[in-house]
Amino acid sequence: MSALIRVVGLHYTYGPNSATPIQALRGIDLEIGHGEFLAIVGHNGSGKSTLAKCLNGLLLPTQGEVWVEGRSTAKTEALLSIRATVGLVLQNPDNQIIASVLEEEVAFGPENLGLPREELRRRVDQALQDTGLWELRQRDPHTLSAGQKARLAIASILAMRPACLVLDEATALLDPLSRREILRLVHKLHAEGLTIVLITHRMDELADAERVLVLEQGRIALEGTPRQLLAQSERLRALGLDLPPAAAIAQGLRRRGAPIAEDILTAEELVQAVTASVGVRP
C-alpha cells in the first residue's frame, strides 16, 4: 500500500515563545496508505486533535514534516491542494458551517476550486445524496439536528472529492442513533475506496479499523490491529483507555472460567461466543 500521507519527526508546540509553551506532539513518525482505515485513540490531551490538524496543514509543524501525496504542508502554495486532498471534519460541525442554505454550504469548498458550474452542480448533488441530505438541500443548516449537521460537514468535504477523510471526534456530541448513522456512512465511504482517519476516544468505534494508533503525551504509545490491542488490556488501562464494552464483558466471563476467546471485539461476536460456550445455537 503506497503512502498517501507521510509524517516525519513531527513536533508541535502551542505558544513556543510564550512563558508556558505546551508541547502537544513529540516526534510522530507515521505513514497512512491509500485506501487505509486508520483509527487514532488516546485520552484528552494526548495530541489527537493536534495531529488531525497537522495532517491537512491547518497547523504547521514546529519541527519535522508532513507530506501529502509528495507535497509538504510547509509550502504555502501547496496548501489549497493539500486541503482538497485531506478533508477534516471537526467535533462541532457548527464551527465549520458558514452558509445559510444547506446546498450552498456544500458548494462552498468546490466552488473555491474554480470548477465549471456543471461539475460543481454534479458534486454538490452527489454529496447530498451520498449523505442522505438531498431532501433537506434548501434548509438552513442551523435548523438541522446534531446528526444531520455532522452529515452536512462530511458532505461539504466529499464535494471536494478528497482522497482522505479525517474525522476528529466527529461522533462525540451525537446521540447513539446519530453516531451509528455517521459510522455506517464512514464505513460505506471506506468500502468505496476513501482513506479514513477516525480520531476518537470511544474504543467501541475501532472494530472496522485496519490499524489503530494509541497516543500518549504526544507520542505513539501503541500500534496494531484492534484485536492486537485488545490483547494488551492492562496496557490500555494504564493509558487511560477502557476496553470496548463487548471485550470487557468477555474478559469478565473468562475470569469466571467461561471458555470465551480473548479477541472478542463486537457485541455480535460476544453473543456467538457465549451461546457456543453453553451449547446453544444463536
Q: Per this entry, what is the length of the chain?
A: 282
Helix (H, G, I), strand (E, B) or coil at 245: helix
- In angstroms, the CA 4 to CA 36 distance is 9
- In angstroms, the CA 195 to CA 263 distance is 25
- 105-125 pLDDT, tens digit each: 999 988 888 889 999 999 999
Q: Tell me the domain boundaries of the chain.
A: 3-243
- In angstroms, the CA 64 to CA 160 distance is 28
**The pLDDT of residue 1 is above 60:** no
CATH architecture classification, 3-243: 3-Layer(aba) Sandwich (3.40)
- 43-88 pLDDT, tens digit each: 888 999 999 999 999 999 999 999 999 999 999 999 989 999 999 9
Closest alpha carbon to 197 in 84, 276, 87, 278: 87
Place of cell 451520498: 130
- In angstroms, the CA 5 to CA 131 distance is 25
Q: How confident is residue 279, by pLDDT bands cut at 50, 70 and 90?
A: low
Which ranges of the chain would DSSP assign to H, the alpha helix? 48-55, 79-85, 102-111, 117-130, 146-158, 176-191, 226-230, 233-238, 245-255, 267-277
Angle between helices 117-130 and 146-158 (to 10 degrees): 140
pTM of the model: 0.90
